[in-house]
Structure formats: structure tokens, C-alpha cells
Amino acid sequence: MATDILNERTGPGDLAQGLRDSVPVVVAASPFGILFGALAVENGFTVFEAVLMSATIFAGASQMVGIDLFGQKVAPWLIVFSIFAVNFRHVLYSAAIGRRIAHWGPIQRLFGFFLLVDPMFAEAERRGEQGKRISFLWYMGAALPVYVLWVAEAWVGALFGRMMPDTHAWGIDFLLPIYFLGLVMGFRKRPIWLPVVAVSAVASMIAYNTVGSPWHVSIGALAGVLLAAVFAPSIKQKEEGE
Amino acid sequence: MSMTAWIILAGALMTFLTRIGGHLVLSRFERIHPRVEAGLNAVPAAVLTTLVAPAAMNGGPAEIVALATGVVVAFLAGGMMPMFLTSAAVLILLRHLLG
């Protein structure tokens, strides 16, 4: 089979590299995994329901939105729709990553897409950018520790929620924006990166203050992506022509 | 099964659809248009920016200085970990100092 030639280059080294790449993600996500469990119980979830949500949805921001609306006794369909809205950005990740994992089997791809969270997408794009192959072993090495610990943290947080230290003084509530900023900075070599970031930032802040959360994510992202779609190809052509 | 569990499972199904949907829809096209390609390349920076900008907007001096430090360290050091640790340290320090 043609794919065998490519598969020869993947092995235990890929798995080890994936595990190493998962470490900063695990560190950044842990406080939020625990915080989610604690807040879920506070908003009326049982410990089982908190763990079930982390295990089946596996998307931090949308889980936080979900339990918040649940605590406010919002209609079930609206909770489900809000989770969908927060996670709608994954459609874009899915389209981008699909091109990089076309060599995987169908079952492997199902697992891959299930585990496609923000940092996983960013790590896979970073690896692809370096010209390295996104092998199934590397991907699982990078994704599974994050998933397993995320589920375990919901359980720990739900059990010990009331014993949380002062999360504000230790900056725990702000670690995720810092981490996301780090990822944004990592993409700074891409074409028209600064205009895209500037337009997305302004659009998301305006949307946040007008339409409101969670739509600022989709609206802000769309503004930056449209800017790139309109201007990037012509800039690239110009550079190649020179 | 409780109503809560049904909400969670429905949310999980919708989430999975977003994670596989982009691929299923886009893989129908044989050739990707340069504009679509350019748009896709801009996706990560665009989306992740929308998760940072409102947080910065709602943040106080400690949060804003921490993020600004992160930008500077990212330019100087390059990698994720130096940036992440420095920025978090600045945030904790300023929150303790500023109360």
C-alpha cells in the first residue's frame, strides 16, 4: 500500500513527542478542569453529570457557558444551542485539520475529530507548519493526556469544589487568555497576521459589547478570516511576482 | 436518565458535529480556492484572538500588563513556555501588589 511508505516514518518517537507537546496544554487546562467541576456542582449538577459533561463534550468554554445557563434555569434547547454556538469555531478547525489527516483511517479520524479542542488544533497546525507529518500516534500522544486529565479534573473539582484556594490571587481565572495569546503569537509568521489579529480583536470586542457572548467568537473570527480571504491571495501573488 | 444528562448528551452531539462538519463539507471540493485557503490559514489567529481580546478589555491593569508582557516575551524568546510562565508570574505579582 502507498501509505506504508509514509507510515514507516511514524513510531514510538512520534508518541513520545506528542506526550511532550501535551505538557503545557495539560498545565494550562488543569485549573479550568478543576474549576469546571467545582462550578458545575455549585450550579446544580451531580458529580456524575459534571464528569459526563467533561467526558462527552470536552470543550472548556462551552461547558462553562452550559453550566452557567443551567444554573439560571434557561430552557434546555437554549443551553444546547449556546454550547453549539460557542463550539461553532470547530467547523473551521475541522476543515483545516481534515487536510492534514487525510491519510488516517476512518475510525482514526472519528477519534481525531472528537479530540479536536483549541490547543490540539493549534499544536497540530504548529507541527504541520514545521513541515512535519501529523501522524495518528503523535496526535493521540498530544491529545489523550489532555482528555484523560480533563475528565479526572472534573471529578476532583466536583468533589473538592468547596476547598478551592483563592483562584483570583493566584491568577488561575486568567491563565486561559494568556495561553491563547501565546498561541496567537505563535502564528505571527503567517501572511497578513497583524491585520487579521487587529481586525478580529476589534470585531470581537464590538460584538461582545453589542450582540454579546458567545457570538463575539464567531463574529470576530469571521471578520479576520474574511480579511485574509480578500487580501492574502493578492499579496501573495505580488510577492511571488517580485 | 435525568433531563440534565439529556442536555449534556445533546450538547455533546452538537459539539461533535462542529468538529467533524467542517471536514465533511469541505472535503467534497476537489480543489480548494486560494481565497478559501487564505481564509483557512487565518483561522487559528483570528479565532484565538477573539478569546483574548474581550478578556483583555474586561481586565484591570494587572491583566493588561500581564498580556503586554506576554507579547514582548513571545517576540524576544519565541516559545510558548517562557511567554506563558512570565506572563502568569507578572499577573500574580501585580494582583498581590495591587490587591
- CA nearest to B89, candidates A173, A177, A175: A175
Residue A227 Cα, gap to closest chain B Cα (Å): 8
- Find, in chain A, the residue whose alpha carbon is nearest to that of B97: A169
Give residue A73's region: left, alpha or beta (phi > 0; psi -120 to 50): left
Q: Is A232 on the interface with B (CB under 8 A)?
A: yes
* Residue B30 falls inside a structural domain: no
For each successive 10 residues of chain A (242 residues), what is the average pLDDT?
Answer: 48 90 89 85 89 95 83 82 83 88 94 95 90 94 97 93 65 78 89 95 95 83 94 72 54
* Residue B17 falls inside a structural domain: no
Test mutation, B33, B40, B47, chain A, max A CBs within 10 A: B47
Residue B70 Cα, gap to closest chain A Cα (Å): 7
What the block records as the C-alpha cell of A34 is: 478543576
Looking at residue A120, what is its pLDDT?
A: 94
Looking at residue B74, what is its pLDDT?
A: 95
Looking at residue A5, what is its pLDDT?
A: 43
- CA nearest to A191, candidates B38, B60, B9: B38
Q: Is A211 on the interface with B (CB under 8 A)?
A: no
- SS3 for A189-231 is CCCCHHHHHHHHHHHHHHHHHCCCCCHHHHHHHHHHHHHHHHH
A60 in Cβ contact with A36 (< 8 Å): yes
Domain count, chain B: 1
Looking at residue A3, what is its pLDDT?
A: 44
A92 in Cβ contact with B40 (< 8 Å): yes
pLDDT in tens, B24-79: 887 677 677 889 888 878 887 888 898 899 989 999 999 999 999 999 999 998 87
Looking at residue A79, what is its pLDDT?
A: 86
pLDDT in tens, A188-218: 988 899 999 999 999 999 999 999 877 888 8
Chain B positions touching A79 (Cβ under 8 A) are 7, 11
What the block records as the C-alpha cell of A56 is: 462527552
A91 vs B9, higher pLDDT? B9
Backbone Cα Rg of chain A: 19
* Residue B32 falls inside a structural domain: no
Which of B15, B37, B49 has its CB closest to that of A62?
Answer: B15
Looking at residue A241, what is its pLDDT?
A: 57
